[in-house]
Structure 1
Amino acid sequence: MNHAPDFESRNIATTAEAERARYHALFNAIDDGFCIIEFFDGPHGPLSDYVHTEANPGYERHTGIAGVVGKTLREIDPIEADRWIELYGSVLRTGEPIRFERYFLTAGRHIEVSAARVEPASLRQVSVLFRDVSARKKAEEALRASEALARVNSERVQLALAAGAIIGTWFWDLPNDRFTVDEPFAHVFGLDPAQGRDGLSLAQVIANVHPDDRGGLIHAISDVIQRGGHYAHQYRVRRADGRYYWIEANGRVDHGPDGTPLSFPGVLLDVEERRAVEAERDRAAASLRALNDTLEQRVIERTAELMRAEEQLRQAQKMEAVGQLTGGLAHDFNNLLAGVSGSLQLLSIRLSQGRLADVDKYVVAAQGAVRRAAALTHRLLAFSRRQTLDPRSTDVNALVNGMTDLIQRTVGPGIKVEAIGVAGLWPALVDAGQLENALLNLCINARDAMPNGGRITIETANKWIDRSAAHSHDMPEGQYLSLCVTDTGTGMSPDVIAKAFDPFFTTKPMGMGTGLGLSMIYGFAKQSGGQVRIYSEVGQGTTVCIYLPRFYGDVDSQTLDHDADSPIAGTEAGETILVVDDEPSVRMLITDVLEELGYTVIEAADSVAGLRLLQSNVRIDLLVSDVGLPGGMNGRQMADAARQTRPGLKVLFITGYAENSIIGNGHLEPGMQVMTKPFALETFSARVREMVDASS
């Protein structure tokens, strides 16, 4: 029996299988994009969509689209699906290949797309190649060189080899150590093409590699043969003109089931131009870094210069404000001191002359100047947020209602005053007396803005200040109650609003105002934890709103006593009062007043002497103490120390200036109260009587 035909068939099949394996290895080894798509009929008509049946690893690198195999075009690119279907569908219908350029945003590359029908047409398949247009000519040379090798599935393999700047291919049979190359490869390495077809040794192949690159190449080859998988390495090769050119070898080592290296196919890419571009890019990047470093230094220097200029400007503005402040103070206090000094001098002259009939008017004049000086001082302390406050839980609606008649009498009959209090107004922890002063001040300003009459509306409301409003109002988020005074007067321009809270700024004629009213209100509101804001347009009137934090507690039922002329009450029980103050004149005046009322008075000039008396067995019914004292302890500390042995001690602090933190930020212990210097002796006496009576 003759078995020759069977042997020949098997030999042909084996060869074909080897060729297919070789081409398939080449197809997967190349670094550029390729895919096969198959059309099908859908809801949009015949050939209305296609699915990717095959795609090499380079497809994702060139298009930026991952995982396309098994997906339809409408799943991948629903926006431009119809355009792609029309392009590739025409290839399938006509059999005519197409070629066009397109920028793939997902990959950031300009790609030349080539599409051809896979025969026979009944397969309904189109093959697509994606390649860099900058390598078109060299890719075409690689395509012609690969035509002799691509006898099986020639169109697919030719398209694969055409991807990128391919200038040669090789196939290394590792078990037999047979290195075969195509003619372009041999040309690049300066080899005989005939020897390249017959087989070469690795030493022959790398003979023209640059000496500096040969060691790295051998190491890279050994590494990929050992581990298998993808291979890519760049090195220089001496070509026919004697110069060295950069190339990149791309390939893949396949292992057998037992891990034995079997084949090593690959392609050569010309990267000379790419390396030159990269080198130029690196030089440009280095230049840019140097420029950025220089620019950064210039920016730092310029910023420092601007900061110095801004600091100088702030210092100049600060000095201008201080000059304006001291100038205004000097002017006002000189006038007040002239009234006090002149009254005292005339008082002394009249007393020496025995003319007692004229004494009272000079006393009244001096006291009036002192009251105005005290008011000016309070305004300054309020502006600086250093006034001594006596905050208590306050019903602001009740405060406004109690002030309405006084405000109406003050502004006159030509102006109508209307108070609108919201129901359920939250209480505020505030110095009610200072709030009354602020309200009266705002109403007087409103009156002055309406020379021909008008209307003043006083309105209260509960406010939720969210993050946005808190940012625009320069205040913390939270719950506030507002007290707003609105007039129908001349209004204020933006530049006037911007300066309204500055000390001594006023739009009134000389002698018609100190310019401290709004600055006092601003300082009082800030010191109370709130804010004040102005809303106005020229000719449309003005609204000034004081915002005070909501107080979570009961409203104090104590009302303010506005009667400063009540008679001085005395005592008949012989109570003892300790007066601690470092100012001798103040101690003398207070002692004289209290002794005239019948109290026994003990004096101390500092906290050490005062505490020694408080820790003795001497009867003390009330401690009257300044806050700022020499001796190492302030008045509050002395009082707290005394209460260790006298827990029920009543304390009245008297102060002209004090940080609220010294006396407890307004949160005084039970049995402690505070009065601000200067004060009317009648008011002082009434407060002492009230506190002594409470302890008896």
Structure 2
Amino acid sequence: MGVTVLAYIFARRVTHSLEQLASTALKVSQGDLTAKSGIHDNDEIGLLAKSFDGMVERLKNNIDTLDTQVKQRTEELLETNARAQRMNAVGQLAGGLAHDFNNLLSVILGNLLLARDRYQQTAGLDDFLTPAIRASRRSADITQRLLAFSRRQPLQPVDVNVGQLMSETIALLRSSLPAQIALVYQNDSSPLPAHVDPSHLESALVNLALNARDAMPGGGALHFHTCQQHITAADGYDEPVTPGHYVEIGVCDRGTGFSEEALKLAFEPFFSTKSGTTNSGLGLSMVYGFVKQSNGYIRVSNQPDGGACITLLLPASHNPSPPQQHPLRDISHAQAILGGKLFLLVEDNADVRKVIRTQLMQLGLRVAEAPDADEALQLINTLPNLDGMVTDIMLSGSLDGRQLAARLHATKPQSVILLISGHYREAGLAEPHLIRFPLLHKPFDLHSLGQALWQAAQKEEQNHENQ
């Protein structure tokens, strides 16, 4: 009888403990990670309950840690998205302003240059014109940087050997930076082809080098590095990096580095830690805009042992760099090639059209004019001896400048065609079926126009020979 009673009590105790454990497990499965079994016995069931409670506690801690990490990452992504939206909004405003200012500067600079050429014998006049011309060029540089930041600068990307371009740029910098700044270049000796605009990449590198120079007034080492990267995941860039193959470019100095505020606002236009009236605060903003327009990524960071580092990721390509055209040193070559030819000038701003017409006539061209695409199309169809065209991209009428250029090329394949623009909208213009024509950015002077037309004529001649 006593044995039976003891067996009953033992069974009851075991059953009660198991029921407690089962009830706790049910609470945990329903999401209550604070539930405890309450069993503290030293037998096998007590050990099981202790292990179970410990497992639930670890699970709770892991979930709490994960929740904290998810919350932190979500806040970072929201901050990055808000920053990207703000930068895009500012970029749209800057791009629109740059377009309007470039047309105004085309009139101002063009007429100042024409006045200097026409009245160069007038004593004392050049003393007034030279500072005005210099200020106009400075203004044009600022609007160009605004266009770069707003991702609306006219890029002409090709497959570039970044290693070669870096070497050439660093050689240029050696002669222009102070002697107390030591330039160090490190690459992995492999081909580094990227699909970018080489002139704008060079300009971006020069801007980064000048920023580094200003951060090291007493001198120091300026390090450049390039390498190939296959990115699957990357942190710290301006936005999440799309997995793929990239060419990485790093520019690192031993200067003062970035403050916390500067790290957050580094890409903002007109933000600058430098003093002085010659600083526009657009250097790093221009680099940012160029990188984003090139479908790349940028990271700004401080080095652990002092100094700052700017890292660029640019999309890799698989083709070598095409040969570069030699610059035109004297417009007489353009005059010899283009003199006497009939060109159609299409520009909807009457003042800008007047300036460009005068420049074309100085190059020896005969000029027909059209204020919009519809009238230009009529002239293309009625002028049998038309040799070429200079047209703005943004036109009133049924066609834009690229489409108008394609019409002329289809009618007269040997025509010399040059596009001009003070603003560049990729949407609606980068149509894959349209032929790419040379593009000259406003405002420009006589030499730049002659250079662009000379290159356009050479390109057309090469195309004709290859047919």
What is the TM-score of this pair, normalised by structure 2? 0.72
What amino acid is aligned across from residue 578 of structure 1 in structure 2? L
* Deviation at residue 106 of structure 1 after TM alignment: 10
SS in 1 for 2:335: coil
- Counterpart for residue 9 of structure 2: 99
Distance of 1:664 and 1:593 partners within structure 2 = 28
Pair 1:605–1:494, CA change in 2 (3 A): same
What amino acid is aligned across from residue 466 of structure 1 in structure 2? T
Pair 1:98–1:658, CA change in 2 (3 A): same
- Counterpart for residue 632 of structure 1: 398
Q: Deviations over 1:285-309 (max 9, x none)?
A: xxxxxxxxxxxxxxxxxxxxxxxxx
Pair 1:658–1:510, CA change in 2 (3 A): same
Pair 1:508–1:646, CA change in 2 (3 A): same
* Deviation at residue 400 of structure 1 after TM alignment: 1.7
Q: Deviations over 1:129-164 (max 9, x none)?
A: xxxxxxxxxxxxxxxxxxxxxxxxxxxxxxxxxxxx
Pair 1:379–1:664, CA change in 2 (3 A): same
* Deviation at residue 647 of structure 1 after TM alignment: 4.0
Distance of 1:632 and 1:683 partners within structure 2 = 29
Report if the CA contact (8 A) 2:346-2:392 is conserved: yes
Structure 1's unaligned 5+ residue stretches are 1-89, 111-309
Counterpart pick for 1:365 among 115, 131, 141: 131
Q: Does 1:621 align with 2:387?
A: yes
* Deviation at residue 495 of structure 1 after TM alignment: 2.6
Q: Deviations over 1:509-547 (max 9, x none)?
A: 142511111111111100110011112148601111121
* Deviation at residue 690 of structure 1 after TM alignment: 3.0
Distance of 1:426 and 1:367 partners within structure 2 = 40
For residues 242-391 of structure 1, the aligned pairs below 5 Å read: 356-391=122-157
Q: Does 1:483 align with 2:249?
A: yes
* Deviation at residue 398 of structure 1 after TM alignment: 1.8
Identity of aligned residues (%): 34
Q: Does 1:547 align with 2:457?
A: no
Report if the CA contact (8 A) 2:345-2:369 is conserved: yes
For residues 444-483 of structure 1, the aligned pairs below 5 Å read: 444-469=210-235, 473-483=239-249
* Deviation at residue 641 of structure 1 after TM alignment: 3.1
Q: Does 1:685 align with 2:413?
A: no
Counterpart pick for 2:192 among 415, 422, 426: 426
Distance of 2:270 and 2:237 partners within structure 1 = 28
What amino acid is aligned across from residue 420 of structure 1 in structure 2? Q
- Counterpart for residue 584 of structure 1: 350
Report if the CA contact (8 A) 1:425-1:481 is conserved: no
Q: Does 1:569 align with 2:328?
A: no
Q: Deviations over 1:308-358 (max 9, x none)?
A: xx9xxx89x979x97xx99xx99xx9xx99xx79x96xx89x97xx97232
Distance of 2:127 and 2:225 partners within structure 1 = 42
Distance of 2:162 and 2:432 partners within structure 1 = 18
What amino acid is aligned across from residue 141 of structure 2 in structure 1? A
Tell me which moved more, 396-405 or 528-537. 396-405
- Counterpart for residue 519 of structure 1: 285
What amino acid is aligned across from residue 669 of structure 1 in structure 2? I
For residues 73-84 of structure 1, the aligned pairs below 5 Å read: none
* Deviation at residue 439 of structure 1 after TM alignment: 0.6
- Counterpart for residue 70 of structure 1: none
Pair 1:497–1:387, CA change in 2 (3 A): same
How many pairs are equivalent? 383
For residues 61-140 of structure 1, the aligned pairs below 5 Å read: 97-100=7-10, 101-102=13-14, 103-104=17-18, 108=22
Pair 1:695–1:524, CA change in 2 (3 A): closer
- Counterpart for residue 129 of structure 1: none
CA RMSD of aligned residues (A): 3.7
Pair 1:535–1:675, CA change in 2 (3 A): same
What is the TM-score of this pair, normalised by structure 1? 0.50
Pair 1:568–1:409, CA change in 2 (3 A): same
Q: Deviations over 1:443-470 (max 9, x none)?
A: 0000000011101112111111113559
- Counterpart for residue 34 of structure 2: none
Distance of 1:425 and 1:479 partners within structure 2 = 13
Distance of 2:431 and 2:226 partners within structure 1 = 26
* Deviation at residue 492 of structure 1 after TM alignment: 1.4
- Counterpart for residue 437 of structure 1: 203
Report if the CA contact (8 A) 2:377-2:404 is conserved: yes
Report if the CA contact (8 A) 1:492-1:538 is conserved: no
Report if the CA contact (8 A) 2:238-2:298 is conserved: no
Distance of 1:499 and 1:666 partners within structure 2 = 36
Distance of 2:433 and 2:199 partners within structure 1 = 16
* Deviation at residue 372 of structure 1 after TM alignment: 0.9
- Counterpart for residue 370 of structure 2: 604
Q: Does 1:495 align with 2:409?
A: no
SS in 2 for 1:381: helix
Report if the CA contact (8 A) 1:636-1:662 is conserved: no
What amino acid is aligned across from residue 178 of structure 2 in structure 1? G
Distance of 2:294 and 2:326 partners within structure 1 = 18
SS in 1 for 2:364: coil
SS in 1 for 2:277: coil
SS in 2 for 1:479: strand
Q: Deviations over 1:482-520 (max 9, x none)?
A: 221111111112332111111111111142511111111
* Deviation at residue 642 of structure 1 after TM alignment: 3.3
Tell me which moved more, 427-436 or 471-480. 471-480
What amino acid is aligned across from residue 99 of structure 1 in structure 2? I
- Counterpart for residue 262 of structure 1: none
SS in 2 for 1:508: coil
Distance of 1:395 and 1:107 partners within structure 2 = 68
Pair 1:107–1:447, CA change in 2 (3 A): closer
SS in 2 for 1:374: helix
Tell me which moved more, 440-449 or 530-539. 530-539
Structure index of larger Rg: 1
Pair 1:604–1:109, CA change in 2 (3 A): closer
Distance of 1:654 and 1:463 partners within structure 2 = 36
Pair 1:430–1:104, CA change in 2 (3 A): same
Distance of 1:454 and 1:667 partners within structure 2 = 50
Pair 1:539–1:469, CA change in 2 (3 A): closer
Distance of 2:20 and 2:331 partners within structure 1 = 89
* Deviation at residue 598 of structure 1 after TM alignment: 2.2
- Counterpart for residue 29 of structure 2: none
* Deviation at residue 651 of structure 1 after TM alignment: 2.3
* Deviation at residue 96 of structure 1 after TM alignment: 6.1
What amino acid is aligned across from residue 496 of structure 1 in structure 2? A
Tell me which moved more, 404-413 or 449-458. 404-413
Distance of 1:565 and 1:544 partners within structure 2 = 38
Report if the CA contact (8 A) 1:627-1:653 is conserved: yes
- Counterpart for residue 163 of structure 1: none
* Deviation at residue 559 of structure 1 after TM alignment: 4.9
- Counterpart for residue 288 of structure 1: none
SS in 2 for 1:366: helix
Pair 1:599–1:567, CA change in 2 (3 A): closer
Distance of 1:517 and 1:443 partners within structure 2 = 10
- Counterpart for residue 275 of structure 1: none
Pair 1:595–1:564, CA change in 2 (3 A): same
- Counterpart for residue 32 of structure 2: none
Report if the CA contact (8 A) 1:433-1:560 is conserved: no
More strand by share: 1
